[in-house]
Amino acid sequence: MNKGFRLIGFVEAISFVALLGVAMPMKYFLHHPHATRVPGMIHGILFLAYIGLAHALSDREKWPQKKLMHAYLASVLPLGTLIFDRKYLGTAQIS
């Protein structure tokens, strides 16, 4: 589960940057109103998967409440999931 969580965190970070850095400018500056439809849906699914896996992993690994709150906060910041991974999971054994 840890390996899956880390992978989802990585892909979620990439999708968030793509949404903010590519799709949103296309929508608002180039006037393509549907530019965010697919990237937004992909990011939304990855976001929900990240939150769900964070909660499940927290229960399984008995994370302190502060660590879980940091995972939740990381999910709403651009590249936050990568920072969370590095700080809390970077030296963890991937199982």
* pLDDT confidence bin for 93, thresholds 50/70/90: low
CA distance 86 to 66: 16
The C-alpha R_g of the chain, in whole angstroms, comes to 15
Can you give the pLDDT at residue 95? 46
When pLDDT is cut at 50, 70 and 90, the band that residue 90 belongs to is: confident
Mean pLDDT of the chain: 93
Which pLDDT value is given to residue 91? 64
pTM of the model: 0.88
- Segments of 13-93 assigned E as strands: none
pLDDT for the residue numbered 1: 75
Which residues have a Cβ under 8 Å from the Cβ of 24 and sit 6 or more positions away?
35, 36
**Shortest CA distance to 12 belongs to which of 92, 75, 83, 57?**
75
Domain residue limits, the chain: 2-89
- 39 neighbors 18 (Cβ within 8 angstroms): yes
The number of residues making up the chain comes to: 95
